[in-house]
Amino acid sequence: MTVHEITLSPLRRLARGIASFRPARHPRALAVAAALALVAPAALVAPAAPVAAAEGDLDRAVAALRGISTMKADFTQTDRKGRTVSGVMTLKRPGKIRFQYEEGVPLLLVSNGKSFTMIDYEVNQVERWPISDSPLGALLDPARDVKRYGKLVPTEHPDVVGVEVRDPDKPQFGVITLIFTRNASAPGGLQLTNWVALDVQNNRTTVRLRNHRYGMSVPDSAFTYRDPRRSTRRPG
């Protein structure tokens, strides 16, 4: 099983000009029967009786995203075949995020507030693209007008809020659906629990968050990385 096969990041297929990377061996078997069914949010499964979104929920979702100063959460990422990887996500406003994958996965995804960088330590490769070139910019870019690009989607429960974000002028960047649950202890009263990224080839990646922690001190150094290209060059 290869890292390439399990789609290591929901941003990989959404990123401009990034189609594939050299395969990297994952240390354990990743095929998990029915895993996608277990982690896919109910809001994205066609419900028998969908619940209409409450008035003002889009504003609440925007306020919830903008109300996060810092956050850490454990994440599980699942591809459309049900194979998973996990790690820790660290977020700091404005625009900084780090996806630290589990031990044995030689990739790192980090944003410094202006651009995403994906580092492949197996092949000493670094790729970078603007935050605005991914729907996940809705989570990170403070200047992004989520209400302009987003719309509420029906869910199966009144305490679940779904927001679909797509840029109609940039269909090549795909669609991301953010799933929130009502939680009084979370910023803005809504807690981001899932997102689902769908690219133009209909490849679907689901990310589920758990063990949310808010408001901790996070240094900006958490959003830097070791450049593997420098370690391969001769000094001088």
User: Cβ(119)–Cβ(228) under 8 Å?
Assistant: yes
Q: Span 35-218: which CATH code?
A: 2.50.20.10
- Residue 71: the pLDDT is 96
Low-confidence ranges of the chain (pLDDT < 50): 1-49, 234-236
pLDDT of 107 = 86
Mean pLDDT of the chain: 74
pLDDT of residue 142: 55
pLDDT (0 to 100) of residue 86: 92
pTM (whole model) above 0.85: no
Instruction: Name every residue whose Cβ is closer than 8 Å to that of residue 42 and which is 6 or more positions away in sequence.
Output: 155, 156, 157, 160
- Provide the pLDDT for residue 105: 86
Q: Any idea where the domains of the chain sit in the sequence?
A: 35-218
Q: How many Å apart are CA 35 and CA 142, to the nearest integer?
A: 33
> Rounded to whole angstroms, how far apart are CA atoms 107 and 190?
30
